[in-house]
Amino acid sequence: MDQLILITIIIILVAAVLWIAMSRKMQNRVVNIYTTTFEQTARKEEYKKKALDFIISKGEAGNDEIKDRLGVSRRSVVRYLDELEKEEAIEQVGDVGRGVIYRAK
């Protein structure tokens, strides 16, 4: 009977140690996720600022010019410009396509 109690206590202790170890691993994952998200947001804001500064310095600019200047994908430029429009920092001139340019407000 004493051996059964001892074995049960050992199993419970091992389970507790494993639980704690897994919890720390999960905590590290959560911290890494938040860190990565923060870094991505900071990088995006930096690119938006560079795009806005470029538009201000030139007076107006198109997607391709901004893409070449920032060295990012066309889709990223569209996202940045959409956000800058929503923030009312820039305005789109033209409807769609290659004729669209952006000006600072």
Domain of 55, CATH number, reads: 1.10.10.10
**Measured between alpha carbons, how far is 75 from 20 in angstroms, rounded to an integer?**
43
Into how many domains does the chain fold?
1
**Measured between alpha carbons, how far is 91 from 12 in angstroms, rounded to an integer?**
64
- What is the domain extent for residue 66? 2-104
- At 37-93, the pLDDT tens digits run 889 999 999 999 999 999 999 999 999 999 999 999 999 999 999 999 999 999 999
Query: Given pLDDT bands bounded at 50, 70 and 90, which one contains residue 95?
Result: confident
Residue 8 has pLDDT above 80, yes or no: yes
Q: What is the pLDDT of residue 1?
A: 67
Residue 103 has pLDDT above 80, yes or no: yes
Classify burial at 51, counting beta carbons within 10 Å of its beta carbon; exposed 0-12, middle 13-18, buried 19 or more.
buried
